[in-house]
A and B are shown apart, each in its own frame.
Chain A
């Protein structure tokens, strides 16, 4: 086996989530061979990855939201890796933006950071459950829900 290109393209969580859900649908139709020992590995990795991804913001995205998000990000001049991280994580606070964007203190002013947060919250759909509970939390970390 030969690896031609170990870095052909980067995938967003959403694309992988789509791929795996489609694969799962296709495999559901052909029921016969899923349980043979050879297929167990694929079943395991698909199940675990889908479980992980369904808890991330990508599960609520669609091709249109991704496109809209990327066009909105154009004026900010972010690298591909930074845009990918923002897309995958949907940051809500300035601290998170500072983590994902390199040298954010030099490249972005505070208003730009707020603008970014606003765009992210508007364009990328959020978790409907989380948005109902109040944002303020207690300082007691050990009893965190």
Chain B
């Protein structure tokens, strides 16, 4: 689930933090910059693992702060393909079942990947697995807040960096590296920078049945 990623960056320490130990000031700045943020094609950054190398600090004319090049390692949430995870069902919609891990929300199980046969109950807005046994069909509801075990099948990184100002009235095309068929304007709709697609392998209730 979690990885260690090696990164290099130049950290700016403002002058009012000069009284602190360089290591601590650098660690704080790095956490401020990266914690709880998604880095494109890397994952959701959790916290600093350690600092491997601190190079010389420089002060540039016009800016009182010091700039230090830092080599460090960061703990990143990035499940590998086919990894099994356990999460809670956030809500269901026509598009599928949305699962949350608490610290990471954008997880979707599209209807094709649910245990078949499954149908969407409009009245209660839940997906239902019609489990066939010799005695008849049992309806297993994917209720909100239920724990669910799932396997990661696909991941989607979207480049949400701001696009430049448009000169013509047409909405600007999203960067070509975005692999989805995102047809909405990046200016209006908020797109999740990191989404996981899964298949649900087992529902906890079903585990007990099996």
Contact = CB atoms under 8 A, between A and B. Distances in A.
Q: Find the residue from B41, B86, B102, B140 having the highest chain A CB count within 10 A.
A: B102
Contacts of A12: 2
B103 A49 contact: yes
How many A residues touch the partner, as a band? Answer: 35 or more
A23 interface: yes
Interface of B is mostly: strand
Interface string A63-98: 000000000000000000100010011000101100
Interface string B50-76: 000000000000000000000101010
B32 A95 contact: no
Interface stretch (B110-118, B175-183, B188-196, B202-210): B202-210
Contact of B7 (A2, A9, A44, A100): A2
A45 to B, nearest CB: 4
Given A2-B7, A45-B36, A81 B83 contact: yes
Interface of A is mostly: helix
A56 B204 CA distance: 14
How many B residues touch the partner, as a band? Answer: 35 or more
A19 B47 contact: yes
A27 to B, nearest CB: 10
B67 to A, nearest CB: 13
Interface of B: 1-9, 28, 31-32, 35-37, 39, 41-42, 44, 46-47, 49, 71, 73, 75, 80, 82-84, 86, 101-103, 138-141, 146, 149, 151, 201-210
Please list the 4 inter-chain residue pairs (A to B) with the smallest Cβ-Cβ separation, ordered nearest first. A137-B208, A141-B205, A48-B103, A45-B36
